[in-house]
Structure 1
Amino acid sequence: MLLSFTDKGLYCAAGDFYIDPWRPVNKAVITHAHSDHARWGHKYYLCHHYTKPLLQARLGDNYYESIGWNEPIYINGVKVSLHPAGHIIGSSQIRLEHGGEVWVVSGDYKTEDDGISGAFEVVPCHTFITESTFGLPIYNWKKQAGIYEDIRQWVTHNAEQFNTSVIIGYSLGKAQRILTAVAPLEKPVYVHGAVWNMHQAILSAGIALPQVHRVTPETTKAELKGSIVIAPSSAEGSPWIRRFSPYNVAVCSGWMQVRGNVRRHNADAGFVLSDHADWNGLLGTIQATGAERVYVTHGFQSALSRYLNEKGIWSAEVKTEYGGEEENAESGKAVNTAEE
């Protein structure tokens, strides 16, 4: 096997490196900058050019090397290349080739092009390691354009009532899509400090984003009245959010597909906006890779793996430590939100 599943993460013995390891290692190839996939403590990091400034912002100074998509390098004889995953800015699938075998590690991915994260690329392989965050048939996403229009209509209605629109979304990935959605309204957009930090890191990568203003103690109620505020989940129900009164709150997450989650968040609205593939996206991708073997990681891995086996595609579940930050934050579960 080109990759083995260890207590530190996905290990390539031929190349002597790990992919998204969750324990400190010597060499780590990173799919994207969410902290359940990119952790502190590795000696050497390899990632996409756009991911590097995000890792620097989150993990501080380390030895980082970055490459572009479809620019192969060799690590101890193993051919390694990165390919767009469409999950967030810089997110990549990792393709490994050695001894006639091709393996692809998806990391997290979505198949609809959001216009800022890079269009997902199907990478043919013998073995595919896929996520399954939303690996149930109930998860079937509406097209992004329709969701963006729904968000804009909600914000416009709030403004007519002189209410501030507070939109909750993860600080890296979701917040940038929300910003893109509301940009045509040409209203001032204020952001939480966690969103601001990621915004600055993305700008430093050379990626253009609409202008935002950081919420500070000096920001006046007059400035905020009728405006748009983007904040992470840790801001829900906090003293920080009360300064925007009167306001309405919306949560953007794939978990909003399940009836009752809007109420559980005590939100006024929920928009089903996910940075992960839905059920059909997962199945379509797996089939398109032509993979003979499929390993299913974090999410509804049991359901997806069982379905694939029933359809004649060899599949097995793999236990990992992924899914502990972004997905939990969006679903409202307790997470460490110190940075937010």
Structure 2
Amino acid sequence: MPLLTFNDCGIYCERADVYIDPWKPVDRALITHGHADHSRWGNKYYLCTRAAAPVIRYRLGDIKLETVEFGEVRTINGVRFSFHPAGHIIGSAQIRVEYQGEIWVASGDYKLEDDGLSEAYEPIRCQHFITESTFGLPVYRWTPQEEVMADINDWWRQTASEGRTAILTGYALGKAQRLLDGLDTSIGKIYTHGAIENTNEVLRKQGIKLPPTTRVTREINKKDYPGNIVVATPGAIGQPWVKKFGNASIGAASGWMTLRGARRRRGADRGFVLSDHCDWPSLLEAIDLTGADNVYVTHGYTAIFSKYLREQGLNAVELHTEYEGELAEIETKGNAETEKENAAADAE
């Protein structure tokens, strides 16, 4: 039997009796990162990186959680587990699993570009590699982060010169902080949606440096917003909450902005292609760096991507999982985090 198998609860290591990012409650869960589709409530025991733990605790509440450092080995019934940087968001990890020379890597979500906030991606050699394919089509090719942020700051500068408010959307954990880190504070003041500011507070307490931000509240005079920027969650757009900013220009930062029509569907005036996932070339590079002959594609363009890998001579398998990539954080599906975001918006 393979060291890792896939069942209706998630990725399972029978010998150690643990799951990686299970989507149904289990006894012992190893968690790659804090996004809603990978870190779910209801498990009896959680293990994650020390850097990921504060946000996971904030999102899931009172859970039994232990932490490891990157590279630290935990041995369970002879199976060696270690967590290595995935580059996706702060604290995100790939999980390396080894037993008697058989090595698997469950990558969770990952990206190769170093964003300056997340721990930089570390390639891990293995025979079996579990990968996402959120943007697993050749059309997805990212522009370097510095160029995207320059475009965003130019847009904000132009909006400010027109006496309008810039509203920039990005999901609360990961994307929002990456945007904040790249904003030019000489242009104006940064305001934040409540769900984003709650996450900022958690990250600041663990030593993550972010620029000064001000939480949007009812007490703020509406005349204070023009010329400045509001960083909001995608779910806030189209809600009554947005009306307080008056004449505003809305920008959306997402890998989906590559596609024609995506900006309109997000209710945005401007689209900026910025993703916390790999583009097509990076996915192929990451797989090559592992040296793996066996690749398991868990979410995204799974059928197309796995077919392409097979054509390149790899043993690639398409898997049906409940991971959703970037959609998990930007769609409103009634999950606990979305409800928390809506409650925050209603209170502002």
Q: Tell me the TM-score normalized by structure 2.
A: 0.95
Indicate if the aligned counterparts of 1:94 and 1:105 stay in contact, CA closer than 8 A: yes
Q: Which one-letter code corresponds to 2:327 in the other structure?
A: E
Are the structure 2 counterparts of residues 186 and 63 from structure 1 closer, same or farther at C-alpha, using a change threshold of 3 Å? farther
Structure 2 CA distance for aligned equivalents of residues 203 and 183 of structure 1: 19
Indicate if the aligned counterparts of 2:193 and 2:232 stay in contact, CA closer than 8 A: yes
**Structure 2 counterpart of 1:267:** 268
**Structure 2 counterpart of 1:88:** 89
Structure 2 CA distance for aligned equivalents of residues 168 and 75 of structure 1: 42
SS in structure 1 of the partner of residue 235 of structure 2 = helix
**Structure 1 counterpart of 2:327:** 327
- Are positions 1:75 and 2:73 aligned together? no
Residues 122-163 of structure 1: per-residue CA shift (max 9 Å, x gap): 000010000000000000000101001000000000000011
Q: Which one-letter code corresponds to 1:327 in the other structure?
A: L
**Structure 1 counterpart of 2:245:** 244
Number of equivalenced pairs = 337
Q: What stretches of structure 2 of length at least 5 have no aligned partner? A: 342-348
Indicate if the aligned counterparts of 1:329 and 1:335 stay in contact, CA closer than 8 A: no
Residues 6-59 of structure 1: per-residue CA shift (max 9 Å, x gap): 111000011110000011111100000001000001111100111110011100
Which deviates further from its counterpart, 193-202 or 151-160?
193-202
**Structure 2 counterpart of 1:189:** 190
Are the structure 2 counterparts of residues 93 and 270 from structure 1 closer, same or farther at C-alpha, using a change threshold of 3 Å? same
SS in structure 1 of the partner of residue 40 of structure 2 = coil
Are the structure 2 counterparts of residues 328 and 91 from structure 1 closer, same or farther at C-alpha, using a change threshold of 3 Å? closer
Indicate if the aligned counterparts of 1:179 and 1:210 stay in contact, CA closer than 8 A: yes
What is the CA-CA distance between 1:327 and the residue it aligns to?
Answer: 1.6
SS in structure 2 of the partner of residue 230 of structure 1 = strand
What is the CA-CA distance between 1:187 and the residue it aligns to?
Answer: 2.2
What is the CA-CA distance between 1:264 and the residue it aligns to?
Answer: 2.3
**Structure 2 counterpart of 1:20:** 21
Q: Tell me the TM-score normalized by structure 1.
A: 0.97
**Structure 1 counterpart of 2:345:** none
RMSD between aligned residues:
1.2
Alignment of 1:1-340 (within 5 A): 1-185=2-186, 187-323=188-324, 326-330=326-330, 333-336=331-334, 337-340=338-341
Structure 2 CA distance for aligned equivalents of residues 100 and 46 of structure 1: 23
**Percent of matched pairs sharing the same residue:** 49
Q: What stretches of structure 1 of length at least 5 have no aligned partner? A: none
What is the CA-CA distance between 1:224 and the residue it aligns to?
Answer: 1.5
Structure 2 CA distance for aligned equivalents of residues 31 and 83 of structure 1: 9
Are the structure 2 counterparts of residues 305 and 70 from structure 1 closer, same or farther at C-alpha, using a change threshold of 3 Å? same
What is the CA-CA distance between 1:73 and the residue it aligns to?
Answer: 1.6
Indicate if the aligned counterparts of 2:142 and 2:279 stay in contact, CA closer than 8 A: yes
Indicate if the aligned counterparts of 1:183 and 1:210 stay in contact, CA closer than 8 A: no
Indicate if the aligned counterparts of 2:35 and 2:329 stay in contact, CA closer than 8 A: no
